[in-house]
Amino acid sequence: MSSVYSRTFRSSPHRDATQTWLAIVDLLTSNSGSTNARHELLSVKGVVSSIIAEKSFQDSPLVVTCNGPRTRIYCIYDEEAIEGGNENEDSLGFDPLNGDWSISVPCPAEDLEWAKVALKRHSDHIYARDASNGVAVADEKAQVVASLSLNLEEFLKP
């Protein structure tokens, strides 16, 4: 079982949705040697900022998986964001984009299809999921792999 780390960012009105995403990108890439990952995260800035503005990260986190610990990122909004005190924007002691990484973005159901298409246009690592599913991370790649089955009898034939 792998470890899970959690961070909470102050969003609107403390900072706008784009500034919030840029702060999250800084956190995710601060220990990464990959400029490609940073470029990929910045390429989805408009899409993810729109989702952050919908307050999707309040109850359902953005989930980052990699070859290390899993990271969940929440946002706080409104009065809680103004007052502060419940945030945790501290750096991580590991690279959350290490190895084969992916990011699952919680999205309102009414925006899910749009977000999936828009994110896919820019990234193979970042995808949208229905925010009402909580932290269940079931990306399309995992679903495809899970649906494959191996016929051992045919496989082992000489």
Q: What is the pLDDT of residues 41-85, one digit of tens each?
A: 999 999 999 999 999 999 999 999 999 899 999 999 999 999 999
The total domain count for the chain is 1
Domain that holds residue 107: 4-155
Q: Which structure tokens are listed for 12?
A: 């609107």
b/e 10-20 (16+ beta carbons within 10 angstroms → b): bbbebbebebb
Cβ atoms of 158 and 142 within 8 Å: the answer is no
- Cα separation, 75 vs 61, whole angstroms: 8
Cβ burial, residue 24 (10 Å; 0-12/13-18/19+): buried
Residue found by looking up tokens 């016929």 in the block: 151
pTM above 0.75, yes or no: yes
pLDDT in tens, 73-130: 999 999 999 999 999 999 999 999 999 999 999 999 999 999 999 999 999 999 999 9
